Structure 1
């Protein structure tokens, strides 16, 4: 798993900047004049894109279908995901205050992992939706129903919340060394375990036994769904059928690739070999995963979806009139 190295920092320096109940977020400690407008623009773009999807679907009764219910939950998860970390980063860039309390740090861990897991499971549910639409089109209306999707999504939110709460409580029981500096712009599980002075073997065991399957399950579902879709499209071999399948699955595949590509970049990189504040490529991968991906997701869908664009256009025309 990904490991984080810290630039050698004297205990006196860290203790002068943080109290015993504070962590110090070291990432992006320079170039604030460039980073502040950049992250502010990304955050506003994420808010705008996801809120437009919510407004478009909520205001048009024709879009109250299982597929768009999944899209609503993806937008909600993205809003939680980016709002967990970026506002605190903007505050640090604006004021220079890089401290975060233990309670604030653990709250970030909970919401960050809950929303990230919801994202992955909603993407898996969308892959299942595409599989039924392409491989079993005659049974789509009876298999993919609003009550069934509602139950599925409700269990996803509750299950991921319980999973995140369990892991957050396991971290909260740990004691931390006098050096509370994190080479990050938000609190995450592995950097916190790296700073812990108490025994973390239980945490790593739980991550391996309970966390691993929870993270891998949606990825396996997505790969399996697209394996069946690919097999069905190959059997048809008609140009029109291939084009229709690509139109149906293209935007979803782009979002899946962006999410899991950046996820691998953050959590499956080899550990840094130098005692630095954090490699530049580590920070880039983290920004892509936690900021850029939830910002681009709504635009990938809204630019490809004629129904959402038509709903927004109709809504703005009615408002103007």
Structure 2
């Protein structure tokens, strides 16, 4: 009689002992054997087969942009929209270049340090300069860095910005500095410059002068006066009001001579191709116009700087 069975109160059947031993023996082999892939293979395939139509239905219902992108009509509409955008960009660039010749602005900013130094010396001391003609290469004026007589926009632009900074410094020495007053100073200088260029263009139209002067050339020549204005204001801040008057007077005479000798070649270039009578009548108008443009520079220089020195 088995002692274990009597102690527990019942006797194990032989088949139960055999089944238990089989289970105990199989545990060791199943402990290191991975049968999850084999067991779950058919179920996984079945789940994928069921999830395929459901995922397609969910994608079609929840993401309508995918079906729109796959539509040929939507692709055609997108291509047509991109072509319209490119045509609109080309039209804007063409019209903008008509009023503001951006491609030509590169010519006026083609300067270097040597050119800037020579040009500043020419603006302050133009009396010893002999050749005032602009050099050409294949009917095209050379870049300013190769010819000191060529007009540029770098010096006028930097001169305008420096003049505003010097004006702010001068207002600060008088305890009158404020951002609003500095903005008024900058806007007034810009408005006077635009009015000056427009007045010259109107005068050229009324006098019917055919010249190669462009609006950008007039803007450059009118902006050269800021160099003399800066010299006058800085001299006044350092040495007082008498130094301001002396330096400004020197710069006014210098810019007057510079404008006369520069614009004379521009405005009188047509006279050689005309008849003698017409040449004599229009020559006087051109000379008066040249003198008026040159004489306006000292007036603007004094008007925009006299209140900065006390």
* TM-score normalised by the chain length of structure 1: 0.24
**More relative contact order in 1 or in 2 (CA 8 Å, sep 6+)?**
1
Greater Rg over alpha carbons, structure: 2
